[in-house]
Structure 1
């Protein structure tokens, strides 16, 4: 992963460096800011290569951005971008699209090689994630992929699926090389995000083979996030998660058939990991309280599954000390 911040440059040079080296050289855009505001400019970003795509997270003071026809000619990208707005909001405009605002937590898509203009809304500046997926890496080539002018997602049902995939993709970045299973997870998430974008823009049918595969991957990610959110509830059950996903219990179990663990195994594993974290963070806390906080219906059940998973009792794990865990 590559990280960079304007703190590495003298204050009077920060915006000029950002504009010429980072904005134009790395992102292929033209950045503008009033000269009297440049001394206070701040910007940072990270770039990860994941599953054949590039994931950028960017934070910066407010300034104006344009990707013009000349910018595109100098630095063509031929990629689909999926944007996740994380800050106070942003404005987009383009030569082939109506102006629109994108709110915090919302998503937008575009093709890299179409002109646009953007600026943050308010004084908070930019904070967003951008996933750049090369068109050549997306199965089922369609010329309409290169006609995606910037536009927000209008299908509210897709937003939680996109959010879950984005979060999982960032977490999967901790994996190893190209033969590591993590890289396969990354590739699946990237393809799911690409195809969800194409579904939203009407290029890919949800019922097609690729559309169904994308929805399965995204729903599995969302199901895991729902499980994590409700771990403390001892009544956490497939019907609760299926209802929130909008699928049948049978379909939910089919989603987990494609993963390493079943629904119940996933819940138990997540509860055990949370209990280990709580024992590390609060060594004085009673084990019975930790078991309850993690959703185990009894202390006896907690001891039984902990010992089966780790070959020791929770108290023995705690007694090892932080350096042994």
Structure 2
């Protein structure tokens, strides 16, 4: 077991690899109960060898994001366990590898990679990996969750797909958080946590009275738009109309969202392209790429237009910018 303290945030790295085979399952029981909430643990009867499992967890303000990679098993919370160890958190499980089944109430959410669901730790539940699996788990205290997310009563254990709509934004965001949470400066952690909650609130089922996308908080809509642009930045056809259609709002409403941030959808698309170009130009792994190749790779249709736009934004053309930033001098 290894704990790493960074500022006021704690990172946990827990694994059965350093425990002798006979003790691995009981140790895993301790691991998941410490990292998440107290559970009972069961493994398939056919299993006779040791148990392999790892958890890496990072605090995001009052929330926690964690990765789990483990052999087939089930964790569950019974009414008696809930009485002995009351917890008042919501947990989001995102399948990364293999399938994961989350059961609560009368529903079974069968998650394939990229899909996620929500469950309530204060109610009986069961999470099963029938084969070796990997998942990302986000733990959210109830007061924090209810302050940012509207959820119909008894709507847990409902699958949210990760290949379209807002779900397609939440899945990569959560996976990115697990990789970079330890790098976040203390002054940005709170904002990152709010961003996660607003995206999650936009993605979760709303029930029959949900209304269209424009009913969501403006900050959540703007964040959704920015994420959509970032994910489609290499598409030369990317346009405000395309972004508005993906979000389910009008172009006029999209313009209102960006105007509140002191910009416009078109300007934001170009600025994100130029920022991506600046990173590629200074990345040693892309030192062999031509400037034209980089320009077309981030969605520009004309190399001369890219050069003018880059110079207006950074005060130097892309070639001079690359030479100036390269530690070895001109490439």
**Which structure shows the bigger proportion of residues in helix conformation?**
1
**What does 1:97-246 correspond to in 2, within 5 Å?**
97-121=106-130, 123=131, 125-138=132-145, 148=154, 150-153=156-159, 160-168=165-173, 170-171=176-177, 173=181, 174-177=183-186, 180-194=187-201, 196-197=203-204, 200=206, 212-213=216-217, 216-246=218-248
Q: Could you say which residue in structure 2 is the equivalent of 1:66?
A: 76
Range with bigger deviation, 70-79 or 252-261: 252-261
Contact 1:189–1:217 at 8 Å: present in 2 too? Answer: no
Indicate yes or no: 2:88 matched with 1:78. yes
Alignment gaps of 5+ in structure 1: none
- Name the SS of the counterpart of 2:139 in structure 1: strand
CA pair 38-72 structure 1, distance change in 2 beyond 3 A? farther
Contact 2:115–2:162 at 8 Å: present in 1 too? Answer: no
Q: TM-score, normalised by structure 1?
A: 0.79
CA pair 253-69 structure 1, distance change in 2 beyond 3 A? same
Q: Could you say which residue in structure 2 is the equivalent of 1:290?
A: 294
Structure 2 residue corresponding to 1:314, chosen from 293, 297, 318: 318
User: Alpha-carbon deviations, 1:126-176, whole Å to 9, x = none?
Assistant: 32222222122245699x98x74742147x799631441453354484432
Structure 2 Cα separation of the partners of residues 284 and 100 of structure 1: 46
User: Alpha-carbon deviations, 1:210-235, whole Å to 9, x = none?
Assistant: x621xx44443433333233323333
Indicate yes or no: 2:26 matched with 1:16. yes
**Aligned CA-pair RMSD:** 3.5
The aligned length equals 311
Contact 2:97–2:135 at 8 Å: present in 1 too? Answer: yes
Range with bigger deviation, 29-38 or 231-240: 29-38
Contact 2:202–2:220 at 8 Å: present in 1 too? Answer: no
CA shift, 1:207, in A, is: 7.7
CA pair 207-278 structure 1, distance change in 2 beyond 3 A? closer
Structure 1 Cα separation of the partners of residues 201 and 236 of structure 2: 36
User: Alpha-carbon deviations, 1:15-44, whole Å to 9, x = none?
Assistant: 32111x212333311112258736442222
Q: Could you say which residue in structure 1 is the equivalent of 2:3?
A: none
Structure 2 residue corresponding to 1:25, chosen from 27, 34, 39: 34
Contact 1:51–1:183 at 8 Å: present in 2 too? Answer: yes
Contact 1:43–1:59 at 8 Å: present in 2 too? Answer: yes
CA pair 261-10 structure 1, distance change in 2 beyond 3 A? farther
Structure 1 Cα separation of the partners of residues 223 and 172 of structure 2: 9
Alignment gaps of 5+ in structure 2: 1-10
